[in-house]
Structure 1
Amino acid sequence: MKHWTEPNGIFLIQIPTEWLYLNPVVEGEEEKSPYSFQPYENAKGCFQISCYPLEEIAPKLADEYSNGVPELRWRPSRMDDSEFCLHMFYGASADQALIGKYIHDASLDNDEQINEELRLVDKILKSVVIIPPGDRKLASDMEKFDRFQGALAASYDLLDNALESDSFVEVIAVSANQIDAFLRLSIVIAIQLKNETDEVPIKYLFQAEDERGLMERKIYDDALKYNVIKDNDHKELNSLYKLRNRVIHRYIISNIKTRDLPRIALRYVEACEKVRLILRDLENKQKDCEYGVYGKKFMKFSEPDDEAIKRLFADVNDKHLIRKFARKVTND
């Protein structure tokens, strides 16, 4: 199983490692209730879960439990028609009303795979934990941190593919992305070390569709400001940035030659490795602290087991969503 946190940090659940979170995958689907999940391969049904403030859905229950519903109990029901079977689950915990759904084709009722998925749905529902309001922002930020890590891991597939095919423009583009990512994470750790806090300056790790994000050169400036890099590193990164822009945006209208691309790509790969090592040193510096993304609380430095590796593979698969780079996450 792998953890999944509601985007606003309201609740946490454990879902099967081989199941995909659908909301950010389906074009136009927002990250709001209901949240949908199904197996990566050969999905027979779809599981959804929603949450609502208790006082909106069940005001009498909210009045009865002014300090929150102490124990989560699920009440199952069915809402079937000639086309689909709909398994419904109603529950309440703390300050939230919860609705779970599992839907499948009516012709598959009592199919063994459907029954197995329903057993997994039961495990998911039993795993629900409502996060206290004061901790919800941190929970939401840590979920974004995990997605950031999965995307960074996925980028190595693109880099390896580009190197194997001598696609130097792609090497430059992906390496530039990785440098930006390593610096962003380094800045987050540097700020946490300075302030001795768990608080995640999420603007460095996540950019919503309608947000104006931090550009690369701003990241270079902030990395210098927080002593992540030195002056000579800052100059090199800005020099590479100008070269990258010529390659990506002005290859046809400038004097840059194709023979220049391997040299520029090599400089980028070397700079990327240098920045990665800077990040590694900051991670090691934070690992013994009681605070921060790599501190003892979040156990990011615990020895990875098979399940942890499969969870990372699942995060990588979620970023790619193409068969070419798909990792195996099942026990089959």
Structure 2
Amino acid sequence: MDRSEVTSEDRLRERLRTDVGALPDFDAGMETLRELGVLDEYEREAYHYEDLVADFEKIKVAQRNLARSSERVTLPPGPQRGEEVRSPEADLTDYELECMYAVSEYYALAATWRPQVRLLRERLLPNSLLSPEEARELLATNATSEGIDLEYLDAEGRIATVTVSQGSNFRRLKSVGSLLAGEYGWHEAEAIHFILTGEHSLIPAITGKRSLDTISIYTSPYVSAKTVSDFYRELRQRSGRSGATQPKGVRVLRTVLNNVLQEDTLPDLNELRKLWNERHPDETFSRRREFEKAYKAAFKAIIKPLEKLPDVHGLRNKLPSV
């Protein structure tokens, strides 16, 4: 395929949709490719389109297998498609799955009997709870150019925002929604959806988030140490950490970085190898290729996951090719 046929991410997405077909979650598939660094390599013309398609096919199969495995437990109502607000990512045991659903149902029951919720429903919904379609219609009917911004779940289960009139009931809806979100771990859109419809979302057994240099995990007490460990390894892999490298390789990486820092120019790796051998007679490199290999391995394991930073992209011309 001629690369000129796909010159932007939008066109790339369109082409992949055509060649690979529908995925359970296409956006998540693209994000997986990005997290793996494949899209960056493709943009640098270091990755063939055919390989990109092959990777996407594997992601498609994995997503379908995951969907099949989740069918053994009936999911409570809530966001299931589009941008899922809450979604368990860990490979939970049967016991942990049952605990997760039980806890989610308990929180929904507790929220139902909150005085604020019951009073608001009596005033805003005097006849009965609404269907999801009726809830969206209620907000759409009261939409205005100025007023209160409410987050809700659209028809695809994604977060959307609407500005509604500043009536007392809608002010209370936002207030109570924020209260439930803070106390039960729901997103505000999920809380408002629950108030209007009675449909509740999952309280995940374990969640995690990745920043550039940290991994944070939040887990329920019923989750086993093994599940936490497996989940951590998955997050670590998704962050681009390919595993530990040798201390010697890290020291080589530091030598290159410090040379660039001091000289402000692209270094000559063979000259750095000679300098290294003088300073480390017990850890010498006989060939430039060995020195470069150690540098690249350490760069991939430690620095590569940080490449989403704009200023790291700016260093491409100042560091040896990786």
Same fold (TM over 0.5): no
- In our comparison, the structure showing a higher alpha carbon Rg is 2
Structure with a larger share of its residues in helix: 2
Of Structure 1 and Structure 2, which has the larger fraction of its residues in strand? Answer: 1
Relative to the length of structure 2, the TM-score reads: 0.29
**Length-normalised TM-score, structure 1:** 0.29
